[in-house]
Structure 1
Amino acid sequence: MSPHVPDEPAPVDRDGRPARPLLTFRVSTDGGRTYSDTRTVWSSDPLTVAHSLAWPPCECPLHRTD
């Protein structure tokens, strides 16, 4: 996830078209009292393929992907 800074050129997809935001979100870890900065996932970001529909993905040694 890479935030777009307004003073920098807009992100570009692999095919040269302007990137578009796919998802924008903020996270709260204290029940909604405070939130993180806004994060944006852009169409130009390198995304990994989901190996399962289960969420959160399993982190055990057998299923870990890293």
Structure 2
Amino acid sequence: MPLGGQFSVGGNSVHPALKDPQAYWPLERWGVAHLSGDRLAALRRVFDEEFWSTVPALEGGCAGLP
């Protein structure tokens, strides 16, 4: 089962299936697996400084901050 969000498999973009458009929680809304153990640890390993350095800032994201 996909981890969620858009990702690439063999060069093709894949999106998770929408299970319940009225659901509040993402795990109830989208057809994605609940991660734990080794799979959760593997996902957390890729959210490192290198990953976050590739995410662009939102325009105006710091507006209004002291």
Query: TM-score when scaled to structure 1?
Result: 0.24
Query: TM-score when scaled to structure 2?
Result: 0.24
User: Which structure has the highest helix share of the two?
Assistant: 2
